[in-house]
Amino acid sequence: MDLSLLIIQALNGVQLGLLLFLVASGLTLVFGILDFVNLAHGSLYMLGAFICASLTFLFGNFLWAVLVALPLTGGIGYLVERFVARPLYARNHLDHVLGTFGLILVLDTLAHLIWGPAGIAVPLPHWLDGQIALTETLVIPSFRLLIIGAGLTAAAGLFWLVNYTRLGMLIRAGASNRTMVAALGIDIQTLFALVFALGAMLAGLAGMLIAPITEASIGMGNSIIITAFVVIIVGGIGSMKGAFIAAILIGLIDTMGRSFLDDIFKLAMSPEAAETSAPAVSAMLIYIIMALVLALRPQGLFPPRTR
Amino acid sequence: MKKLLTLTLAAGLMSTAAWAESVKIGFVTTLTTGAAIIGTDMQNAANLAVEHLGGKAGNLDLEVIFADDGFAPETGKQATDKLVKQDDVDFVTGYIWSHVLLASRKSALDAGKFLISANAGPSQIAGKLCDENFFSTSWQNDQTPMAMGEVLNRQGVKSLYVMAPNYAAGKDMVAGVERTFKGEIVGRDLTKWGADAQLDFSAELAKAKASGADGIFVFYPGAAGGAFIKQYDQAGLKDTLPLYSVFTVDGLSLPKLQAANFQAVLGSRTTQEWDPSLDNAANKRFVADFKAKHGTYPSFYAAQSYDAIMLIASAVAKVGNTEDKDALRAALKAAEFESVRGDFKFGTNNMPVQNFYLREVVADADGTWTTKVVETVFEDHIDSYAAECKM
């Protein structure tokens, strides 16, 4: 186990963490401010990936496709808010779950009707398909560096938005005390619609970034949504800082677990036992962390201040 | 007396002929989730087989009922139960996934139905759990990687890094290549599998590169195959860590890889029991009609499904009804049908005894990416679990 492998795996972990942050940030905003459990957030991730894939084939350029697909996904997020979420705000969380679970099924089948059962592989421009040598031994694929860059830019943009703009102030106020914000005369409907659309755009961006590596496929959102929920529970619901730190933490733990757990296990047990148990345990790790957080600090690691 | 006997006999024959007018085949495959692309290919091939047969098996009407296993063993078992109990099919076939087949086999076999696997070949069902009513038109999971191990030996590869998904077939593939490969296995990674399979292999590829192996052996069927090859290409490993795969590069992933222009896959090698370029009349007809109808080359899943329907139809046509189970069993075992593989015969455990070929990814005359046979690796290969079968 040498240093360069450790650094590469750490970078892989950070990349996964940033993708998780993009999904989790939208989720935590919607859950924290709108108090709306949106299971269909993963479907927005999937739709972002598919729209970007189709546009890449239409324009012949991946980056243009991302720029056009982002507002389109935001628009879809607005439509979801207007027609599915808004009627359900007054109801309890179980109704939210039922409604958005139904929406997942509808969107999955819609994707199947529009794009077919096969996934779409997204071609990248030539300069994104190579590798970048950070040092002599540290070689990382260019596209993964782009993901890290895009994730950090989005995180920085969100940080600026939430802390230094009026909209961000309203978002933070809404996360602390929604009723008071409405009582102060702020147009809560528009605020909610904007937050929902922003969350959809972030999730869509994550989907667009992962699609060239894996592929845009139906149901791709269903596994990441569970991990995103784990992230926001660990980080604290409604908190951007919490979502960021928890996402990086979980991305690192998951990647390091997959990379080094079997070597660690081999110190204590036979190679065959290590090789069969390590994948199972590394898949469980993030849920064990979530269980610990819920047991010891149920409000999450960095909950927003509420009164 | 004699006249009475002849009359009764004639009446008996007429009544059975009037009764069993159609043969129903249940086809369990994956029609939803990301793996639906495989199921759709098998469905297309099965329908093409029915079309080539004119919708009839001998004098009986042929009906294929498709059911979805949702890429999960419990759903596959439920689908099998429904086909066997509610639809009362005579034959059950299909089954992409080994864990789905293992979960469903009892439902079909306990009801006395014939179970014909068109893809999955878990070691258990070729060995200890073999059954006189089970047949396979595919292979036993270990055989294809065993052929690859032999190829690796011939090419002088001394150390290997192995990656496969963590389920029954993944483990069989790893066991298969380790059975014949004479070099050293420097690392083994079994990744998460299922409907939400792990599709980002960054950590595992970094480990493989750091291990300094001569080559990497992978088994990633369906969508994961395309994802793996993409990431392998993006990590720039083509020259430092040559790729040897089974069931990863096929008629389903090649169109997607071609659309995304992943040139790294051209020239890569894989082993299999069938290839679109195999030179026999049945295969030529199958490939040409499939390509004309669906616009792509059929995959091996499709070829095996086509063979399964043809095998069943030949047995039913020979016996003339679906009631005489012993005659049907004997007819199935005799396997007198035109397989797309050429000569076809079953071994003692009802698994095919067949050739395995080394195939290379090339562009055909129209520029479409497909495969062609380079050489025959094994001739009339019998799987390693035949001895464990007490039949």
State how far residue A119 is from chain B, nearest Cα, in angstroms. 7
A281 within a domain of the structure (yes/no): no
Tell me, yes or no, if B185 comes closer than 8 A to chain A by beta carbon: no
- Distance from the A174 Cα atom to the nearest Cα atom in chain B, whole angstroms: 34
What separation in angstroms does the CA of B80 have from each of B25, B94, B198, B322? 11, 10, 27, 19
Mean pLDDT of chain B: 89
- pLDDT in the model for residue B20: 52
| Contacting residues of A for B37, CB less than 8 Å apart | 117-119
Closest chain A residue by Cα to residue B261: A123
pLDDT tens by residue, B360-371: 889 988 889 999
Instruction: Name the closest residue on chain A to residue B222, using Cα atoms.
Output: A118
Query: What share of chain A has pLDDT > 70, as a percent?
Result: 99
Report residue B46's pLDDT band, with 50, 70 and 90 as the boundaries: very high
Q: Phi first, then psi: give them for residue B350, nearest 5 degrees.
A: 65, 20
> Is A271 inside any structural domain?
no
Contact with chain A for residue B194, Cβ under 8 A: no
A213 vs B196, B210, B231: nearest CB: B231
- Give which of A50, A52, A129 to mutate to test B binding, by max B Cβ within 10 Å: A129
Q: Which residue of chain B has the CA closest to A118? A: B37
Which residues in chain A have their CB less than 8 angstroms from residue B261's CB? 123
Contact A214 B252 (CB under 8 A): no
For the domain bounded by B21-139+279-352, which CATH number is listed? 3.40.50.2300
**Is the Cβ pair B210, A5 closer than 8 Å?**
yes
State the smallest CA–CA distance between residue A140 and chain B in angstroms: 7
CB–CB of A5 and B199 under 8 A?
Answer: no
| Residue predicted with more confidence, A305 or A103 | A103
pLDDT 10s digits, B178-202: 999 999 999 888 888 876 788 889 8
Number of domains in chain A: 1
Q: How far is A176 from chain B (nearest CA, A)?
A: 35
Q: Does B352 have pLDDT greater than 90?
A: yes
What confidence score (pLDDT) does residue B18 get? 44
Look at residue A285 and tell me if it is in a domain: no
Q: Residue B69: what pLDDT?
A: 94
Question: What average pLDDT does range B166-177 have in this prediction?
Answer: 89
> Nearest-CA residue of chain B relative to A7?
B206
Q: What is the pLDDT of residue B282?
A: 93
With 90 as the cut, is the pLDDT of residue B350 above it?
Answer: yes
Q: What is the reported pLDDT for B194? A: 77
Local confidence band at B7 (pLDDT 50, 70, 90 cut-offs): low
Smallest CA–CA distance from A19 into chain B, residue: B200
Average pLDDT, stretch B10-39?
75
User: Which pLDDT band, with edges at 50, 70 and 90, does A239 fall under?
Assistant: confident
Residue-number span of the structural domain to which A190 is assigned = 3-220
Query: Is residue B10 scored above 70 in pLDDT?
Result: no
Query: What pLDDT sits at residue B12?
Result: 53
Residues of chain A positioned with their CB less than 8 A from the CB of B257? 121
Q: Which of chain A's residues have a Cβ under 8 Å away from the Cβ of B236? A: 130-131, 139, 141
Q: Which residue has the higher pLDDT, A255 or A4?
A: A255
Q: What is the pTM of this model?
A: 0.80
Length of chain B: 391
Mean of the pLDDT values across residues A44-71?
A: 93
Q: What is the pLDDT of residue B110?
A: 93
A130: which chain B residues are within 8 Å (Cβ-Cβ)? 234, 236
The larger pLDDT score, comparing residue A181 to residue A234, is at A234
Model confidence band, residue B58 (pLDDT cutoffs 50, 70, 90): confident
Decide if A213 and B188 are in contact by the 8 Å CB cutoff. no
The rounded distance, in Å, linking the Cα atoms of A22 and A63 is 18
Is residue B13 scored above 80 in pLDDT? no
Is there a shared CATH topology between the B21-139+279-352 domain and the B143-272+356-388 domain? yes
Of the candidates B188, B231, B234, the beta carbon closest to that of A275 is on B188
Q: What is the pLDDT of residues B95-149, one digit of tens each?
A: 999 999 999 999 999 999 999 999 999 989 999 999 999 999 999 988 999 999 9
State the architecture of B143-272+356-388 in CATH terms.
3-Layer(aba) Sandwich (3.40)
d(C-alpha B349, C-alpha B385), whole Å:
8
Assess B17–A contact: CB distance below 8 Å, yes or no.
no
Please check the confidence at residue B353 and state whether its pLDDT lies above 90.
Answer: yes
Which of B204, B210, B223 minimises the CB distance to A119?
Answer: B223
Quick check: B195 and A219 CB within 8 A?
A: yes
Does pLDDT of A301 surpass 60? yes
> What is d(CA B68, CA B103) in angstroms, rounded to the nearest whole number?
14
Q: Is the pLDDT confidence value at B9 over 80? A: no
Map tokens 């204590």 to a residue. A268
Does position A177 have pLDDT exceeding 60, yes or no? yes
CB spacing of B230 vs A121 below 8 angstroms: yes
Identify all chain B residues contacting A139, using CB atoms and an 8 Å cutoff: 235-236
User: Does the distance separating the beta carbons of B259 and A121 come in below 8 Å?
Assistant: yes
pLDDT digits (tens, 9 = 90+) for A120-160: 888 888 888 888 887 777 788 889 999 999 999 999 999 89
Q: CB-CB: which of A118, A144, A210 is closest to B37?
A: A118
Q: For the stretch A135-146, what's the b/e string if a residue is b when 16 or more beta carbons lie within 10 angstroms of its beta carbon?
A: eeeebbbbbbbb
pLDDT for residue B17: 45
Interface size between A and B, measured as CB pairs under 8 A: 117
Strand, coil or helix: what is A14? helix
Residue A192: inside a domain, yes or no?
yes
Mean pLDDT, residues B138-164: 92
Residue of A nearest to B230 (CA): A213
pLDDT band at A113 (very low <50, low <70, confident <90, very high): very high
* Sign, Cα dihedral of B208, B150, B123, B76: positive
Q: Is the pLDDT of residue A118 over 80?
A: no
Q: Tell me how close the Cα of B229 comes to any Cα of chain A, in angstroms.
A: 9
pLDDT for res A52: 95
Chain A residues near residue B231 by CB distance under 8 angstroms: 141, 213
B296 at A interface, C-beta within 8 A? no
pLDDT attached to residue A89: 86
Q: Average pLDDT for residues A73-91, to the nearest whole number?
A: 92
Kindly report the nearest CA distance between residue A258 and chain B, in angstroms. Answer: 7
- Write the residue in B33, B203, B236 that is nearest to A219 by C-beta: B33
According to DSSP, the residues that pair with B218 across neighbouring strands are: B163, B245
Of A119, A141, A259, the CB nearest to B203: A259
Q: Look at residue B15 and tell me whether its pLDDT is greater than 70.
A: no
Examine residue A63 and state whether it is found in any structural domain, yes or no. Answer: yes
The pLDDT assigned to B16 comes to 46
Residues of A whose CB is below 8 A from B175: none
Q: Measure CB to CB from residue A222 to each of B40, B196, B227 and give the nearest one.
A: B196
- Residue A268: pLDDT over 80: yes
* Beta strand extents in chain A (DSSP E only): 131-133, 139-141
What type of residue sits at position A261?
L
Query: Which chain A positions have a beta carbon within 8 Å of B196's beta carbon?
Result: 219, 222-223
- Looking at the complex, report in whole angstroms how far the Cα of residue A146 sits from the nearest Cα belonging to chain B: 13
List the single range of A14-23, A297-306, B291-300 with lowest mean pLDDT. Answer: A297-306
- How high is the ipTM of this complex? 0.79
User: In this complex, which of A8, A124, A219 lies closest to B206 when CB atoms are compared?
Assistant: A8
Domain ranges of chain B: 21-139+279-352, 143-272+356-388
pLDDT grade for B11, boundaries at 50, 70 and 90: low
- Residue A82 is classified by DSSP as I
